[in-house]
Amino acid sequence: MTATAPLTLLESRAVEVNDPAALLDRVARDFPLNAFLDSPRSGGFFHRSGVIHLGQIAVSCSRHSALEIGFDDSPTATLTLPLSGVAEVASDGHRLKLEAGPMAAYLPGAAFTASTGAFEEVMICLDRRRLVDTAAAMGGFGDSAESCVPAFERSLRVDGGTASEQAELLSHLHLALRMLEAPLLRSVGGLSASQLEDLLFRLVAAIVCPDAVGGTDRPVPDHRGNHPFDELLEWIQAHLHTPITPTELSRRSAYSQRNLQYLFQRRFGCSPMQWVKRQRLSAVHTDLQRAQPGETVAAIARRHGFVQMSSFAASFQRCYGIAPSLLLRRSRTNSC
């Protein structure tokens, strides 16, 4: 492992620091690093890292020489994905060994120390309270979010090599992280429009607390009747112009993600987010037919939550068999 080799992730943001004091100052801006417990060996120290912020998440990828460092208590939880090398983390009486492979280490925010050899890792720092709320929403716990708290207050080593579901979740997490630097993401409105922040919270919540978010093995209908579901549909219709995430749908309805999938599939033959997209397309279709003078396709589409015009236009034409620009022209001709 060398300092000059590109980082596995966030290479475009990479900064190399060869002075331990300067590194402490740099890292402490984003993470609760408080000290090097053992001074790095003279002449052999290197540290190369890239950091990106996404809402309430900070993601870093770093490659460095042997270190022994300490972190303070924090309301921020950390999921570490080792990419190469070996490390040991000690926190609240627990010791976790990290090594490259399908694994992760979850730390709830309590102070910890880390001792590593030459090492490369990805660290995902997330708001712990939001992790709890995300798990509760996914599991359909409604106002009983506190039942999920214990799972997020203890250190955990997640071994993806022995449990196929955990291995799959970790694989999805690695794929999601690679989207952070996807060059075409800007063309669809950037990171915020991609709902990547919500996806990362959902993946980490599922990795740390699979029992809470997994629900039953088979989706089952909710026996409260259709009233909460109908209220959710009304809320969606009234908020098509705003970002809508799967977690928000679970939180507002108090249905688990499995029951939401079941209910939308049973009534509409599609997933919740597919139905949201259909409603947005329908709203645009209606507004194009009654567009005011000077209104454009782009303005109408953005009014209903679309940010990437070429993708919107392709979806619209597949749905209605006509390009939105042509429908707008026809509507104006017919109104004359």
Question: Is residue 254 located within the same domain as residue 151?
Answer: no
User: pLDDT per position in the chain (336 positions), as tens?
Assistant: 555 688 999 999 999 988 777 877 777 777 777 777 665 555 578 889 999 998 889 999 999 988 888 888 888 899 999 999 999 998 877 889 999 888 999 999 888 888 998 999 999 999 999 998 888 888 877 666 677 888 888 888 988 876 678 888 899 999 999 888 776 555 555 555 558 889 999 999 999 988 766 654 444 444 445 577 888 899 998 988 888 888 888 888 878 778 888 888 888 988 888 999 999 999 999 999 988 888 899 999 988 888 778 888 888 999 999 999 999 988 887 765
Is residue 238 domain-shared with residue 335, that is, in the same domain? yes
Q: Is residue 316 part of a domain?
A: yes
- Quote the Cα angle for 279-284-287, to 5°: 125
| Residue the block writes with tokens 């000077």 | 294
Enter the DSSP assignment of 52: E
Q: Considering the entire predicted model, what is its pTM? A: 0.74
Which residues have a Cβ under 8 Å from the Cβ of 103 and sit 6 or more positions away? 81, 82, 157, 158, 159, 160, 161, 170
Element (H, E) at 164: helix 164-178
Same domain, residue pair 137 and 242 = no
CATH of the domain at 123: 2.60.120.10
98 and 233 co-located in one domain: no
- Asked whether residue 262 is assigned to any structural domain, the reply reads yes
Is 178 part of a structural domain of the chain? no
Q: Tell whether 151 and 273 lie within a shared domain.
A: no
233 within some domain: yes
Total domains in the chain come to: 2
Whose CA is closest to 45, among 120, 118, 121? 118
Give the range of the structural domain holding residue 101, as residue numbers without chain letter: 11-164
User: Same structural domain for residues 15 and 156?
Assistant: yes
CATH classification at residue 324: 1.10.10.60
Distance (Å, whole) CA 206 – CA 156: 13
- Domain end position, chosen among 117, 132, 164: 164
Q: For residue 194, what pLDDT is reported?
A: 57
- Residue 321 has what pLDDT? 92
Say if residues 33 and 69 touch (Cβ distance below 8 Å): yes
Domain for residue 322, yes or no?
A: yes
Q: Which of 164, 191, 211 is the last residue of a domain?
A: 164
Largest CA distance in the chain: 81
